[in-house]
């Protein structure tokens, strides 16, 4: 059996015209026709049919996105199952859950959460009041403050 060199064949083959794409689309399964017609421009299809490397890159991107979606589905299912279990435990409070979630975030996400919360006027006012209240109730302990 002869091995086919696709690069060589691609450079020697005639460019596929848009008319060929138009003629081919009706021959596809109806669901595939719908997906293609709704999601893609003819110019993109024409480019991909004439550039296998770009088509392969695009398809790989779709696969990567599908893998990400599958991971997201699994994560959401795990979250749902965990929430179902945790909701039955009345000892847990939302503040504890938020604290655990915050601690698990990467540093840049923690910073973004803080910035977003501080941009909410009511949260900022409540936080300032809590901080001032804790200072007013504070008791100085000898050796508690380090030298500057």
Q: Is residue 35 part of a domain?
A: no
Answer with the residue of higher pLDDT: 31 or 115. Answer: 31
At 86, is the secondary structure helix, strand, or coil? helix
Put simply, whether the predicted model's pTM sits higher than 0.85 gets the answer no
How is residue 26 annotated by DSSP?
G
Q: Is residue 127 part of a domain?
A: yes
Give CA–CA dist 97/109, Å, rounded.
Answer: 17
pLDDT of residue 1: 37
pLDDT digits (tens, 9 = 90+) for 82-102: 888 777 765 556 667 778 888
pLDDT of residue 7: 52
Q: Is residue 122 part of a domain?
A: yes
Q: How many domains does the chain have?
A: 1
Lowest mean pLDDT: which of 11-20, 31-40, 89-98? 89-98
Q: Is residue 117 part of a domain?
A: yes
> Average model confidence (pLDDT) for the chain?
82
Give CA–CA dist 105/122, Å, rounded.
Answer: 24
pLDDT digits (tens, 9 = 90+) for 55-70: 999 999 999 999 999 9
Q: Is residue 128 part of a domain?
A: yes
Q: Is residue 114 part of a domain?
A: yes
Q: Is residue 47 part of a domain?
A: no
Place of tokens 């840049």: 108
Asked if residues 23 and 69 have their Cβ atoms less than 8 Å apart, the reply is no
- Domain limits for position 131: 93-138
Q: Is residue 48 part of a domain?
A: no
């Amino acid at each position: 059996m002869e091995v086919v060199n696709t690069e060589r064949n691609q450079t020697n083959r005639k460019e596929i015209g848009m008319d060929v794409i138009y003629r081919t689309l009706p021959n596809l399964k109806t669901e595939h026709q719908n997906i293609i017609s709704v999601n893609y421009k003819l110019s993109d299809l024409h480019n991909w049919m004439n550039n296998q490397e770009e088509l392969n890159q695009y398809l790989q991107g779709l696969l990567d996105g599908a893998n990400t979606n599958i991971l997201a589905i699994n994560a959401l299912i795990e979250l749902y199952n965990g929430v179902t279990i945790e909701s039955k435990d009345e000892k847990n409070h939302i503040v504890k859950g938020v604290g655990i979630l915050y601690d698990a975030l990467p540093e840049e996400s923690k910073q973004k959460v803080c910035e977003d919360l501080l941009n909410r006027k009511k949260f900022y006012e409540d936080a300032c009041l809590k901080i001032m209240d804790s200072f007013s109730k504070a008791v100085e302990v000898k050796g508690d403050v380090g030298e500057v």
